Chains A and B, each alone.
Chain A
């Protein structure tokens, strides 16, 4: 019989795996973040939306220190990224994978060599294990048997899927997606969205997606962060984003329809 005097345990707050605190970044006179504050929780898919050229990709690159911040702090798995020594950075990059906008496959290498690249760098198993892993991740992204092809022989959608296979090969805890559906036809957009969702469920990774494709955003995301005026001015669930009364976000979500109506340009 349960003890009636026992209080129910308070809900555990979600664990923060990534935290940007007062991050400032500028390229010359072009201020990108002033400042950036954002938290990402374990196991969630957070989508960062905002206009083109506003610095969404910069956020991802600062997170794995492909770009250095001007000031502020980025914590990842409880460790400070901005001052992390090079040796430790390798370990961090082992835990965080990134799918680049154009997939960034190495042109001179085959698909198999591309996928093996992080495995070799991180000394992941022997040759047979690596070959097996290549097969496994290619199956996961629905492209078995293309190990021998070069990136020049692949379509845009195929490149993205191979890029994703390369990203997940090392079994990361976090996957960063930089515009995963940009430039793809609707069928490939659906495929990539499906893959992101499947990987999320199957591998239970934390995902940060940068996009301005609102359909994709609402398909894959748990939470949305809206980049506006050099800050993350709004964060919330997708339901909250749809019901928001924050005008810039409402316009963005509705694809600017409100503005056109207000200007009387709609038929």
Chain B
């Protein structure tokens, strides 16, 4: 019971933090482009290799499994259709969010948490600035921009990985595979996945920053918070993926 109350308390606090963040983002106060570009670099550019590696091998493994499963029905030629739909709609955004979220969200928590326990967050306020404007808003905006871009990259690389396997194992040509993919996917599928990635970007940043801002207990507390963030982001992404999929498919 007390855990449920605690969870509700956290959800309420994250909602308030989100409200204050978006108020700043949509006001004229949020103009610090150097902070934003630094965060975009850290969250996006710094994470591309994880996104690419994950997508490449996930696409390849999916292709192996589907080709094998479809072979008894003589349908392994159409592996590209199945794999591309799975990657673009689900695996691209979700896997990218879980892996990049773990890295980026934990980084946000560690950085802001360390600043918190060394009174640097208090110092920002004491010097006349707003910690949410300086620390939270740039990270939230950076993740909202970068997650869809990373997802787009992951979609492309995932399909590429699948194509390599299908070409090798099934023996289709690249042109045939690409035709299959283009024939299957519609713009709505892509938008569906990218819209989810936008939400995931927001969740990753806000959870990472919230846990960081509430870190107590010195370096030990920072370590604990960082672990909490990875768990919280993974659960948030997976649960929200279910809810967002239901929501998007209802339109």
Which residues of A come within 8 Å of B, CB atoms? Answer: 61, 64, 66, 90, 93-94, 97-98, 100-102, 104-107, 117-118, 121-122, 166, 170
Q: Assess the A90–B128 pair: CB atoms within 8 A.
A: yes
**Contacting residue for A100 out of B114, B123, B129, CB 8 A:** B123
> In the complex, which residues of chain A have a beta carbon less than 8 angstroms from the beta carbon of B126?
64, 66, 93, 97-98, 100
Q: Assess the A122–B118 pair: CB atoms within 8 A.
A: no
Q: Assess the A101–B123 pair: CB atoms within 8 A.
A: no
B108-151 CB contacts (< 8 Å) to partner A: 114-115, 118-120, 122-123, 125-129
Nearest A-chain residue to B120, judged by Cβ = A104
Closest Cβ–Cβ distance, residue A99 to chain B (whole Å): 10
Nearest A-chain residue to B122, judged by Cβ = A66
**Contacting residue for A117 out of B114, B122, B127, CB 8 A:** B127
Which residues of B come within 8 Å of A, CB atoms? Answer: 114-115, 118-120, 122-123, 125-129
Nearest B-chain residue to A64, judged by Cβ = B126
Nearest B-chain residue to A60, judged by Cβ = B126
> In the complex, which residues of chain B have a beta carbon less than 8 angstroms from the beta carbon of A106?
115, 120, 123
Complex formed: what's the CA distance from A105 to B114 in Å? Answer: 12
Q: Assess the B122–A121 pair: CB atoms within 8 A.
A: no
> In the complex, which residues of chain A have a beta carbon less than 8 angstroms from the beta carbon of B122?
61, 66, 100, 104
Nearest B-chain residue to A100, judged by Cβ = B119
> In the complex, which residues of chain B have a beta carbon less than 8 angstroms from the beta carbon of A121?
127-129
Complex formed: what's the CA distance from A66 to B115 in Å? Answer: 15
Q: Assess the B125–A93 pair: CB atoms within 8 A.
A: yes
> In the complex, which residues of chain A have a beta carbon less than 8 angstroms from the beta carbon of B125?
64, 66, 93
Can you list 22 A-B pairs with a CB-CB distance of less than 8 A? Answer: A64-B126, A90-B128, A93-B126, A93-B128, A94-B128, A98-B126, A100-B119, A100-B126, A101-B119, A104-B119, A104-B120, A106-B115, A106-B120, A106-B123, A107-B114, A107-B115, A107-B120, A117-B127, A117-B129, A118-B127, A121-B127, A121-B129
> In the complex, which residues of chain A have a beta carbon less than 8 angstroms from the beta carbon of B118?
102, 104
20 additional contacts, CB 8 Å, given A105-B123, A106-B120?
A: A64-B125, A64-B126, A66-B125, A66-B126, A93-B125, A93-B126, A97-B126, A100-B123, A100-B126, A101-B119, A102-B119, A104-B118, A104-B122, A105-B120, A107-B115, A107-B120, A118-B127, A118-B128, A121-B129, A170-B128
Complex formed: what's the CA distance from A170 to B126 in Å? Answer: 12
Nearest A-chain residue to B118, judged by Cβ = A102
Nearest B-chain residue to A120, judged by Cβ = B129
Cβ-closest 4 pairs across A and B: A104-B123, A104-B119, A118-B127, A121-B128
With most chain B CB atoms within 10 A of its CB, the pick from A93, A104, A118, A170 is A104
> In the complex, which residues of chain A have a beta carbon less than 8 angstroms from the beta carbon of B128?
90, 93-94, 118, 121-122, 170
Complex formed: what's the CA distance from A263 to B118 in Å? Answer: 39
> In the complex, which residues of chain B have a beta carbon less than 8 angstroms from the beta carbon of A64?
125-126
Complex formed: what's the CA distance from A264 to B19 in Å? Answer: 62
Complex formed: what's the CA distance from A90 to B123 in Å? Answer: 13
Complex formed: what's the CA distance from A211 to B86 in Å? Answer: 63
Complex formed: what's the CA distance from A121 to B114 in Å? Answer: 23
Closest Cβ–Cβ distance, residue B111 to chain A (whole Å): 9
Closest Cβ–Cβ distance, residue A102 to chain B (whole Å): 6
